[in-house]
Amino acid sequence: SSGINAEWPLRPGCKATEAAVRKAGIAQLYGIAGDTNSTGDEQKKLDVLANELFVNLLKSSYQTCAMVSEENEKMIEVPVAKHGRYIVCFDPLDGSSNIDCLVSIGSIFGIYKRESDGPVSTEDCLLPGNKLVAAGYCVFGTACMMVLSTGNGVNGFTLDPSIGEFILTASNMTIPSKGKIYSTNEGNAQYLDEKLQKYLYDCKFPKAGKPKAARYVGSMVADVHRTICYGGVFMYPANSTAANGKLRLLYECNPMSYIVEQAGGKAVTGRGQERVLDVVPTKLHERCPIFLGSSEDIDVILSYLNE
């Protein structure tokens, strides 16, 4: 069975987070909460609020036995009396550095079915993305949209504020096989592998045809959502200052890679032909380099990297 049962409590979580995001300026939820999260980012007030919403809703759903959140250093265990079959890994509010300037942000989640019996341990959560039973993200932009896959394609649901429900507005979402956009933080170009620098140069100065368009929001949800809609590539590669890039495997790279593959695209690490979904994590907040998007464009990047 799919993880659709565990996805159910995430919907009110996304609705409540959307409401908080819309009210943030008025309710003075902008700014820093005065702490840092498990990966060293400064926690914003909205981050903390979104995390509490997701944790509490998932705990009380009777669907989960454990959770992994970007905001919590250790695995969150659900009381045994409320145990379900699923493990949910999530980033409650991705792109939070963009909160204060009103740029699109979002929530990301991946759902696994627990494979062992007995007390839940951290090892139960260290599963590769190819074992996901469902994944999704919710983008809080000009509209609020939840994009979801349970292993049978990708569907998009837009929140209708007049009735407070998600309505199916984009069924069987597919990513174009080739796109005209590349998306990465080119401010880091000096730290990149020379082969990747050559690829980026050729995007801007192609031997034939028009150059690619550069688009980079800095919120993974917004950048990946645009990539699925319009095609092209999004990347956060390894570089000389970050051997595994910046993005976290369990609750950023895996869910997004799962959705992109379900939409007909590709998601790779840049290490040979390795898929992101085949990486076996060794720790909860492990980072992973990522290149995802249109299949033909990813093949081109791999041809540069594997020269």
pLDDT in tens, 211-227: 999 999 999 999 999 99
Q: Is 70 a catalytic residue?
A: yes
Q: Please pick, among 29, 49, 58, 70, the residue that the annotation labels catalytic.
A: 70
Q: Is 297 a catalytic residue?
A: no
Residue 1 — pLDDT band, cuts 50, 70, 90? very low
Q: Is 223 a catalytic residue?
A: no
Q: Please pick, among 41, 115, 160, 278, the residue that the annotation labels catalytic.
A: 41
Which tokens is 189 given?
């170009």
Which tokens is 281 given?
């994590």
Q: Please pick, among 7, 18, 47, 223, the residue that the annotation labels catalytic.
A: 47
Q: Please pick, among 7, 18, 223, 252, the residue that the annotation labels catalytic.
A: 252
- 142-147 own/partner pairs: CB under 8 Å, 24+ apart: 142/104, 144/14, 144/15, 144/18, 145/169, 145/170, 145/225, 146/11, 146/14, 147/173, 147/225, 147/228, 147/259
Q: Please pick, among 18, 91, 261, 297, the residue that the annotation labels catalytic.
A: 91
255 membership: H or E segment, kind and range: helix 254-262
Nearest to 140, CA basis, from 171, 98, 172: 98
Q: Please pick, among 18, 53, 57, 71, the residue that the annotation labels catalytic.
A: 71
**pLDDT at res. 168:** 95
Q: Is 160 a catalytic residue?
A: no
Q: Is 73 a catalytic residue?
A: no
Which tokens is 214 given?
């550069």
Q: Please pick, among 7, 18, 94, 223, the residue that the annotation labels catalytic.
A: 94
Q: Is 202 a catalytic residue?
A: no
Q: Please pick, among 10, 58, 93, 250, the residue that the annotation labels catalytic.
A: 93
- Summarize pLDDT for 23-33 with one digit per residue, the tens: 877 777 666 55
pLDDT surpassing 70 at residue 166: yes
- Summarize pLDDT for 83-131 with one digit per residue, the tens: 999 999 999 999 888 888 889 999 999 999 999 988 999 999 999 999 9
Which pTM does this prediction carry? 0.93
- Summarize pLDDT for 229-266 with one digit per residue, the tens: 999 999 999 999 999 999 999 999 999 999 999 999 99
**pLDDT at res. 119:** 92
Which tokens is 79 given?
């009381």
